[in-house]
Chain A
Amino acid sequence: MSDLAAIKGTPEYPHPLESQVNLVGNVWRRFLRHKGAIGGLVVFGLLIALTVLAFVSPYSPTASNLPERFEGPSTAHWFGTDALGIDLLTRILYGGRISLAVGGIAVAISLLIGVPIGAIAGYYGGKLDSILMRITDAFLSLPPFLVLILLAAILREVDIPLFQRSSVFTISFVIGILSWMTFSRLVRAAFLTLREMDYVNAARALGASDLRIILGHILPNAVGPVIVEATLQLGYAIIQEAGLSFLGFGIQPPTPSWGNLLSDAQEHFIKYPWLAVFPGIMIFLSIISVNYIGDGLRDAFDPYKMLEKVGEYT
């Protein structure tokens, strides 16, 4: 008791809460040093802002304007018009809402499945770990895009709440249900290490329940790599939505998404290249910006780099 009292409050061993505040601060400071990550954050923020502000556009994203079919980029239509004469910029901005929402929801679904499975497998180990990891391996062995198409095709034939044909949630679910395995492996690996740490043993000795230890003590220390992976998965999910929509299994017209805008462009790519180029650039910018953010977060969460900073690791 006296030892603990002596430790508590000394400069070398800050109070746990203070330590967490410093951790967040350190992560943020390191993140700010990553120029690519800052650039990515700005670009991604800008993309989100633009899609949120899509309603400012004077044009409808769905109402046809046939006299202006296939007009090239101009002052009236910055990105040109599509096969129905609809302003392409407006469709891209509204489509961004869908594509980014699909990405976000898909990652959330992956996290909701992958993190608990990884946490339980890593914390309890043994047969439960083996069973859960074999299930994970089974999912990993599936050819992802083929299964995506199959699932999307099946789900668009059903009509149940939340799973209406080709809705944002349905597409997100299809992508999320096949993307959680990386999270579970990542979390499991972290839990395998962290569960042996002294502070976990101490919590256990003090009578903390498994749930409390998992949620309150181990998970917060494993969250770094999960956040990094989440940003990367967001990019993959956007690409997968684009792929599904490109193949006709994703978001259905007239609702725009970056994927179905690209799909619609394929027949006219040679003659009206802007139809493919602008949605392609938006997908490219969102993916690469999210990727840089993920890179920055990975560096910021890297404990070795943090120690390197304070001179304790060389």
Chain B
Amino acid sequence: MSKNFRTLALLTLTSVTILSLIGCQAAPSTAPAANPSDEKSITILVGEDPPSFNPMVADTGYDALVMELVLLGMTDIDPNGTVFPELAAELPTVDSGGVVLDEAAGTMSVTWKMRQDVQWQDGQSVTADDVLFTWNAIQDPNTGSWIPGIDSIDSVEKVDQYTFKVNYSAIYPGYLTQFGGEQLAIWPAHYCDASQGFVAWDCGRKPLSDGPFVLQDWVEGDHMTFLKNDKYYVAGKPEIEKVTVQVVPDDSVRKTMMQQGDADIDMWINVNTINDLKDSQVAKVSLSPSDRFVMRLFMNEAEKGTVDAEATPHPILSDVRVRQAIRQAIDVDTINNEIFLGLGHPQWTEFFRPPYNKCDVPRPAYDPEAAKALLEEAGWTDTNNDGVRECHGCASAEEGYEMHMEFITYAEYGEPLELTQQLIAEMLGKVGIKLDLTVVEGSVLWADAQSGGIEQSGNFDIDIWDDGYAGVDPTDYIWENYSIEAATPGFGWNLARWKNDEFNSLIEDSYTLDEASRQETFCKMAKILDEQAPEIMLFTVPNADAHSSRLEGVQSTVNDLVTWNIADWKIK
């Protein structure tokens, strides 16, 4: 056995050496992009199988990626944040008469007119019946799902074959993307089995298409094949005839395939891949023109393992001065410039995206000395000179309690986030805050409380990941992240369990179509968030997708998946 073992060891060393030599000599291929199969077909690489074609079920990104190939919503959002119609004939507005407000009652109704030239792949028309069918499936209390603004809808009624009306019990500013956008599609009433439920029905994995492609086959764990939909409503599109979505779990393999011209799209590439592909002749990088996802610290204001910050305050993080000190102790520019190659942008307020980026919130300064002073003021000093502060007169911890916490992040983002985590731990270590690092799977971090989700069950001190709102309206996102109601596990993502009555009433005020009022309300919110620091925003992360240089029309976007405009792609 030991001889075999030695042979194996020798083989390993030899392989490592040979691979190293290959690595030393490797250079980006300058050969023209190899065509995966023929001139009208492309290959899209994904890390794993999509769970289904319905992103409302699991929201892995891969589901939304393939949904864009086969299913349409009423509207979608372009990379600049502009909403455009898909199944809708036009966008309903107050001016066009499509939106009717009842100011006195605080309600509204929206009338949608649909295109009349869209067909399912079996030839049947896409009609208001399909919209009502989808809505009924979503709002089924037993088998449905939650969508933004669902609680604001009183009813959805059919007006005629291609018109329907949504009656709201409140003013809901996000109505334009409620039946579309990144995650929601309209499903065929005559094909899906409503009794199976919106999140479980078979058509979620075998969809009937009204999009630019139809699903031909799906070999799980390997690939999906899509063919051009001859009944797609836009004449002459798509130009591409075949799309293969290939599962390649290892991101370095995906990168190599892009470098070798063996694939056409690699979605959500990280900064290392962006850097590695910048000189490639066969692969290009598309960066989103706008930012969405902000790397941020989530700090649990409730004691670890609990979810009520008032009943069981966190011994360290419940003190706002500690949170502010943490913010001052992190050198955001260094992390962004060194780890993220300067591709991100420092951000310190939720309201940085147009059209609501007009609030005057000064950027917090990186000042470790000020952070130390703030910690001293908060009663955290290092009397035993071991480099870690202890509570000596602090607000919520026992005398002598160490400033020692766990700092979690998720594995899937890869090395840039893990290096960021290490650097932040080092920076906080310099002001006397000791952090133990943990990396977990995202599915464990974000699972619901019943499944043992770390965040929802409050089983964390600090964690870091990238988050931001889809589309152009921050209202729902603000509610989900900062409202008192969303501090209850399962009701939202107020992971800090931060509760602020003034802020909560501002959230209510923001549900209006009066844009001037909304802007003013958002700026009041921004001020409170800046003072209270329930989350610490650091910098936006680049949203990028790699594509082969033979492919034209690819545009990465933070508002959707890269396939949002696949019908417009062309092959050189």
Interface, chain A (partner B; CB < 8 A): 62-64, 66, 69, 83-84, 156, 165-166, 232, 235, 248, 252-254, 264, 266-271, 273-274, 276-277, 280-281, 284, 287-288, 291-292, 294-295, 298
Contact = CB atoms under 8 A, between A and B. Distances in A.
B13 interface: yes
Contacts of B227: none
A232 B338 CA distance: 43
Given A284-B9, A284-B12, 17 more contacts: A156-B438, A165-B438, A232-B2, A253-B418, A253-B437, A254-B422, A264-B415, A271-B23, A273-B23, A280-B13, A280-B16, A284-B13, A284-B16, A287-B5, A288-B9, A288-B10, A291-B9
A11 B20 CA distance: 61
A294 B1 CA distance: 11
Contacts of A156: 438
A166 B439 CA distance: 11
Interface centre among A232, A267, A274 (most CB of B within 10 A): A267
Given A253-B418, A291-B6, A63 B426 contact: yes
A43 B219 CA distance: 50
A273 B437 contact: no
Interface in B11-28: 12-13, 16-17, 19-20, 22-24, 26
Interface in B267-307: 272, 276
Contacts of B551: none
A63 B423 CA distance: 9
Contact of B423 (A64, A281, A284): A64
Contact of A291 (B2, B24, B419, B423): B2
Interface of B is mostly: helix
A254 B437 contact: yes
Contacts of A84: 419, 422-423
A8 B532 CA distance: 88
A66 B16 contact: no
A269 B19 contact: yes
A287 B13 CA distance: 12
B37 interface: no
Given A253-B437, A271-B276, A287 B9 contact: yes
B419 A83 contact: yes
B252 A277 contact: no
8 contacts: A165-B406, A253-B437, A267-B252, A271-B276, A273-B19, A280-B12, A284-B16, A294-B2
Contacts of A291: 2, 5-6, 9
A253 B436 CA distance: 9
B306 to A, nearest CB: 15
Interface string B162-192: 0000000000000000000000000000000
A277 B438 contact: no
B16 A277 contact: yes
Interface string B404-437: 0010000100110011001101100000000011
B415 A277 contact: no
A298 B3 CA distance: 13
B334 interface: yes
Nearest to A67: B338
A254 B425 contact: yes
A252 B439 CA distance: 8
A277 B20 contact: yes
Nearest to A159: B406
A248 B411 contact: yes
Contacts of B419: 83-84
Pick from B411, B414, B422, B439 the residue with the most CB of A within 10 Å: B422
Given A62-B426, A64-B422, A254-B422, A273 B338 contact: no
B20 A273 contact: yes
Nearest to A228: B2
Contact of B338 (A66, A166, A267, A284): A66
Contacts of A298: 2
Nearest to B270: A267
Nearest to A284: B13
Contacts of A271: 23, 276
